[in-house]
Amino acid sequence: MRITFRGATRTVTGSKHQIEVDGRSYLLDCGLFQGRRKESRELNSRFAFDPAQLDAVVLSHSHIDHSGALPALVKRGFEGPIYTTPASADLCSRMLLDSGHIQEKDAEYLNRRRSRRRRIDPDFNSGEVQPLYTKDDAERSLKQFKSVDYRTPTPLADGLSYECYDAGHILGSSSVTLHYRKGDKTTRLVFSGDVGRAGLPIIRDPQPVPPADYLIMESTYGGRLHRRGTDVKDQLERVVRTTVERGGNMIVPAFAVGRTQQLVILLNELTQEDRIPEIPIFVDSPLATNATEIYQAHPECYDAEARTHLLDQRDPFAFGRLRYTRNVEESKALNDLDYPFIVISASGMCEAGRVLHHLKNHLPDPRNTVLITGYQAEHTLGRKILEGHREVPIFGQEVTVRAQVEKLNELSAHADHDELLQWLAPIAPGLKKIFLVHGELGPAEKLRDAIKERYGVQAYIPNVNESVDLS
């Protein structure tokens, strides 16, 4: 068995890990790289392998940095099955179509800019930009999805099978165990996917995975701890109240899948408990609205508290002050409101979508608050806002940042340093080697050192396109 690390190595996005066994080739995840626009286009426009030679893909979850390159894979010749959980398949049915639409719009935008440049500079001879993939490409990729329930052994080839376990990260997220049997020898490889946290709203806690020989493990929050001893509802209540007292609005960039639904649940509870002022709350993201419908359709993934809401015949994603905007006109109308409100809008890293318009309109006003609720990858707009840049680029213009910027770590869907070590504990004694991925180099190094100190297991940080043969 050979692993080649094709993405999310020494960085957080673009998860792709190629597994080769007995002349066959498989991919764990196929995500988009997210970061600087030019670098992202270059990295996402090519594969370091022939997609047509892949036999199957096993997808850990639906987030775009794990699933978003699947339509490009299919466009370039991949014809095999894409295995994932039923909830992840349903979420991808909305997310990949949305991503295809964004790819088309990005290409249109770049071509308009190039057209203007050609009018000014006749010697500028750049060709037309093609979208990475289209909505039609995304539609074709969806036909290759195969839904597989948790803890259901699934054959990939003679001697090779996989089984998945709830990773507790978002709805339908999974950790994957590959079993490879040759003669009387069995090799077991676990891919953690993105490891979640105990006690997150809606979804179940991460399930333990079975013993393994090798582990591909995420390291997003290596060396960092989420704030302890503070209640997330208390923090959210404080931010809402102080914003309203200033007469401002609250802009919440949030991942359409997972984070938006968590926020809706918490705001619902704060509303029911009369802990926040009576102001309107808008979910301004068609994808988030569609994803919420998927959440409503998969109560089998809920934790006990969320199931209690359903048993009490209370929809946790609908309450009096909450409005879901569907069209552009409704979104634009929010700019004309002359009273405080909350808007939750994608994308979570502020790289695309309607949240850019809200940020452009609200960042210059010191009465407003921007609430960051998740990880912000290096070089993204969200990272720049979080780091305190006084001006940030939006739609080609420098926008002054005067709004208050708050961070709510408690909602992170990624396990922190100690939680990763705790997740690792049951399988650490049997591991021969750990490969740390999905983390910037500094955090990965800190997690590597902690694993060696606590468990005595060698953890290695691979380079992109590096191959390792497993004994």
Is 29 found in the same domain as 19?
A: yes
The last residue of a domain, from among 376, 396, 411: 411
Is 264 found in the same domain as 163?
A: no
The last residue of a domain, from among 411, 427, 450: 411
Is 207 found in the same domain as 268?
A: no
pLDDT of res. 345: 94
CATH of residue 117: 3.60.15.10
pLDDT of res. 468: 98
Is 366 found in the same domain as 244?
A: yes
Is 131 found in the same domain as 198?
A: yes
**Which domain covers residue 81, as residue numbers?**
2-224+413-469
Nearest of 103, 88, 171, 153 to residue 133 by alpha carbon: 103
How would you classify the pairing of strands 369-372 and 250-253? Answer: parallel
pLDDT of res. 313: 57
Is 95 found in the same domain as 155?
A: yes
pLDDT in tens, the chain (471 residues): 999 999 999 999 999 999 999 999 999 999 999 877 778 888 898 999 999 999 999 999 999 999 999 999 999 999 999 999 999 999 999 999 999 998 998 888 878 878 877 778 776 766 788 999 999 999 999 999 999 999 999 999 999 999 999 999 999 999 999 999 999 999 999 999 999 999 888 899 999 999 999 999 999 999 999 877 568 899 999 999 999 999 999 999 998 898 999 999 899 989 989 999 999 999 998 888 899 899 989 989 999 888 877 666 567 787 788 999 988 899 999 988 989 999 999 888 898 889 999 999 999 999 999 999 988 888 889 999 999 999 999 987 999 999 999 998 778 889 999 999 999 999 999 999 999 999 999 999 999 999 999 999 999 999 999 999 997
CATH of residue 369: 3.40.50.10890
pLDDT of res. 121: 75
Rounded distance, CA 300 to CA 147, Å?
A: 15
Is 433 found in the same domain as 385?
A: no
Is 404 found in the same domain as 256?
A: yes
What total number of domains does the chain contain? 2
- Token representation of residue 149: 């329930």
Q: Determine the distance from the C-alpha atom of residue 129 to the mean position of all C-alpha atoms in its chain, rounded to a whole number.
A: 26
Is 398 found in the same domain as 448?
A: no
Which helix (H) or strand (E) segment is 17 a member of?
A: strand 16-21
pLDDT of res. 229: 57
- Token representation of residue 242: 């102080």
Residue owning tokens 């100690």: 418
Residue-wise DSSP of 416-453: BHHHHHHHHTTTGGG-SEEEEESS-HHHHHHHHHHHHH
Residue owning tokens 């109308």: 333
pLDDT in tens, 97-139: 999 998 998 888 878 878 877 778 776 766 788 999 999 999 9
- Token representation of residue 87: 């909830």
Is 214 found in the same domain as 247?
A: no
pLDDT in tens, 425-463: 999 999 999 999 999 999 999 999 999 999 999 999 999
Rounded distance, CA 106 to CA 110, Å?
A: 6
Rounded distance, CA 141 to CA 263, Å?
A: 31
Nearest of 147, 40, 39 to residue 86 by alpha carbon: 147
